[in-house]
Structure 1
Amino acid sequence: MDGTFDYLIVGSGSAGSVLASRLAEAGKRVLVLEAGGTDRRFFVHMPLGYGKLFYDKAVNWAYKTEPDPGLNGAQDYWPRGKVLGGSSSINAMVWIRGHDSDYDDWQQVSGSSHWGAEAARAAYRAIEDNADGADAYRGQGGPLHIRSGQEPAHPLVKPYIAACEAAGLPYNPDFNGPVQEGSGIYQLTIKGGRRNSAARAFLRPAMKTGRVAVRTRAMVTRVLLEGRRAVGVEYQWRGKTLQARAGEVILAGGAINTPQLLMLSGIGPGAMLAGQGIEVALDQPNIGQHLNDHQGINYTYRMNVLTMNDILRPWWGKMLVGMQYLLTGKGPLSVSINHGGGFFKTDPALDRPNMQLYFQAFSTLIPRADERPILSPDPFPGLSIGLSNCRPTSRGHLELASPDPFAAPRIFANAFSTNQDVDEMLAAVKFIRRIAAQTPMADLIAEELRPGPQIATDEALIDDFRTRSGTVFHPSCTVRMGSDPATSVLDADLRLRGIENLRVCDASAFPTLIGGNTNAPAMLMGWIGAERILAH
Structure 2
Amino acid sequence: MTTRRENSTTYDYIVVGGGSAGSVLARRLSDDPEARVLVLEAGRSDYPWDLFIQMPAALTFPSGHALYDWKYESEPEPHMHGRRVAHARGKVLGGSSSINGMIFQRGNPLDYERWGEQPGLETWNWAHCLPYFKRMENALAASAGDPHRGHDGPLELEKGPATNPLFQAFFDAAEQAGYPRTDDVNGFRQEGFGPFDRNVRHGRRLSASRAYVRPVWRRRKNLTVKTRALATRILFEGTRAVGVEYRRNGRTHTVRAKEVVLAGGSINTPQLLQLSGVGPADLLESLGIPVVVDLPGVGENLQDHLEVYIQHEATQPVSMQPYLRPLSMPLTGLKWLLGRTGPAATNHFEGGGFVRSNDEVRWPNLMFHFLPVAVRYDGQIADVKHGFQVHVGPMYADTIGRLRIRSTDPTEHPELVFNYLSTENDRREWVEAVRVARDILSQPALAPFNGGEIAPGAEVSTDEEILEWVGREAETALHPCGTAKMGPADDPMAVTDPLTMGVHGTTGLRIVDASVMPFVTNANIYAPVMMIAEKAADLIRGVAPLPAEDLPYYVADGPAKVGVTA
Output the TM-score relative to the length of structure 2: 0.91
1:38-437 equivalences in 2 (<5 Å): 38-40=45-47, 41-109=50-118, 111-133=120-142, 134=144, 135-149=146-160, 151-152=161-162, 154-207=164-217, 208-364=219-375, 374-376=379-381, 378-437=383-442
Compared with structure 1, are the counterparts of its residues 214 and 479 closer, same or farther at alpha carbon in structure 2 (3 Å cutoff)?
same
Does residue 502 in structure 1 map to residue 520 in structure 2? no
Shift of 1:219: 0.5
Counterpart amino acid of residue 422 in structure 1: R
Shift of 1:308: 4.1
Q: Deviations over 1:180-231 (max 9, x none)?
A: 1111111001111111111000112231222210000001101001111100
Retained in 2: the 8 A contact 1:313–1:379? no
Q: Which of 28, 31, 44 is the aligned partner of 1:25?
A: 31
Partner of 1:370: none
Provide the rounded CA distance (Å) in 1 between the counterparts of 2:280 and 2:333: 50
Q: Which range moved further: 104-113 or 520-529?
A: 104-113
Give percent identity, aligned residues only.
36
Q: Which range moved further: 130-139 or 14-23?
A: 130-139
Shift of 1:170: 1.4
Provide the rounded CA distance (Å) in 1 between the counterparts of 2:234 and 2:418: 26
Retained in 2: the 8 A contact 1:309–1:377? no
Counterpart amino acid of residue 401 in structure 2: G
Retained in 2: the 8 A contact 1:143–1:202? yes
3-state SS, counterpart of residue 448 of structure 2: helix
Partner of 1:487: 493
Provide the rounded CA distance (Å) in 2 between the counterparts of 1:31 and 1:376: 42
Counterpart amino acid of residue 440 in structure 1: A
Q: Which of 521, 524, 527 is the aligned partner of 1:517?
A: 524
Shift of 1:358: 0.9
Provide the rounded CA distance (Å) in 2 between the counterparts of 1:29 and 1:153: 47
Shift of 1:144: 0.8
3-state SS, counterpart of residue 465 of structure 1: helix
Q: Which range moved further: 349-358 or 256-265?
A: 349-358
Provide the rounded CA distance (Å) in 2 between the counterparts of 1:110 and 1:205: 39
Shift of 1:375: 4.7
Compared with structure 1, are the counterparts of its residues 276 and 442 closer, same or farther at alpha carbon in structure 2 (3 Å cutoff)?
farther
Provide the rounded CA distance (Å) in 1 between the counterparts of 2:107 and 2:373: 26
Q: Deviations over 1:329-387 (max 9, x none)?
A: 1221111142311000011342100010010111126x9xxxxx745564531211111
Provide the rounded CA distance (Å) in 2 between the counterparts of 1:419 and 1:379: 36
5+ residue gaps, structure 1, are: 368-372
Compared with structure 1, are the counterparts of its residues 502 and 44 closer, same or farther at alpha carbon in structure 2 (3 Å cutoff)?
same
Counterpart amino acid of residue 286 in structure 1: G
Provide the rounded CA distance (Å) in 2 between the counterparts of 1:376 and 1:234: 44
Provide the rounded CA distance (Å) in 1 between the counterparts of 2:29 and 2:119: 23
Counterpart amino acid of residue 486 in structure 1: P
Retained in 2: the 8 A contact 1:110–1:511? no
Compared with structure 1, are the counterparts of its residues 59 and 31 closer, same or farther at alpha carbon in structure 2 (3 Å cutoff)?
same
Provide the rounded CA distance (Å) in 2 between the counterparts of 1:167 and 1:240: 60
Aligned residue pairs total 529
Provide the rounded CA distance (Å) in 2 between the counterparts of 1:433 and 1:340: 17
Q: Which range moved further: 163-172 or 304-313?
A: 304-313
Counterpart amino acid of residue 253 in structure 2: L
Shift of 1:293: 0.4
Counterpart amino acid of residue 197 in structure 2: Q
Partner of 1:5: 11
Provide the rounded CA distance (Å) in 1 between the counterparts of 2:11 and 2:382: 48
Counterpart amino acid of residue 525 in structure 1: I
Provide the rounded CA distance (Å) in 2 between the counterparts of 1:43 and 1:377: 22
Q: Deviations over 1:31-80 (max 9, x none)?
A: 00000001012210111110111211101101110000121211100000
Shift of 1:438: 0.2
Provide the rounded CA distance (Å) in 2 between the counterparts of 1:378 and 1:526: 42
Provide the rounded CA distance (Å) in 1 between the counterparts of 2:165 and 2:67: 34
Compared with structure 1, are the counterparts of its residues 350 and 336 closer, same or farther at alpha carbon in structure 2 (3 Å cutoff)?
same
Shift of 1:275: 1.4
Shift of 1:415: 0.5
Provide the rounded CA distance (Å) in 1 between the counterparts of 2:224 and 2:319: 42
Q: Deviations over 1:136-185 (max 9, x none)?
A: 11111111100124x11533111010111101111111001111111111
Provide the rounded CA distance (Å) in 1 between the counterparts of 2:13 and 2:382: 45
Retained in 1: the 8 A contact 2:94–2:207? yes
Retained in 1: the 8 A contact 2:10–2:255? no
Counterpart amino acid of residue 240 in structure 1: R
Provide the rounded CA distance (Å) in 1 between the counterparts of 2:449 and 2:165: 12
Shift of 1:314: 2.9
Root mean square deviation of aligned Cα:
1.6
Retained in 1: the 8 A contact 2:12–2:258? yes
Q: Which range moved further: 421-430 or 104-113?
A: 104-113
Q: Which range moved further: 394-403 or 334-343?
A: 334-343
Provide the rounded CA distance (Å) in 1 between the counterparts of 2:44 and 2:163: 31
Counterpart amino acid of residue 39 in structure 2: V
3-state SS, counterpart of residue 470 of structure 2: helix
5+ residue gaps, structure 2, are: 1-5, 544-566
Output the TM-score relative to the length of structure 1: 0.96
Does residue 461 in structure 1 map to residue 466 in structure 2? yes
3-state SS, counterpart of residue 242 of structure 2: strand
Provide the rounded CA distance (Å) in 2 between the counterparts of 1:353 and 1:462: 21
Provide the rounded CA distance (Å) in 2 between the counterparts of 1:444 and 1:375: 22
Shift of 1:324: 1.6
Compared with structure 1, are the counterparts of its residues 377 and 48 closer, same or farther at alpha carbon in structure 2 (3 Å cutoff)?
farther
Q: Which range moved further: 241-250 or 453-462?
A: 453-462
Counterpart amino acid of residue 491 in structure 1: D
3-state SS, counterpart of residue 171 of structure 1: coil
Compared with structure 1, are the counterparts of its residues 378 and 519 closer, same or farther at alpha carbon in structure 2 (3 Å cutoff)?
farther
Provide the rounded CA distance (Å) in 1 between the counterparts of 2:22 and 2:281: 28
Shift of 1:274: 1.4
Shift of 1:459: 1.1
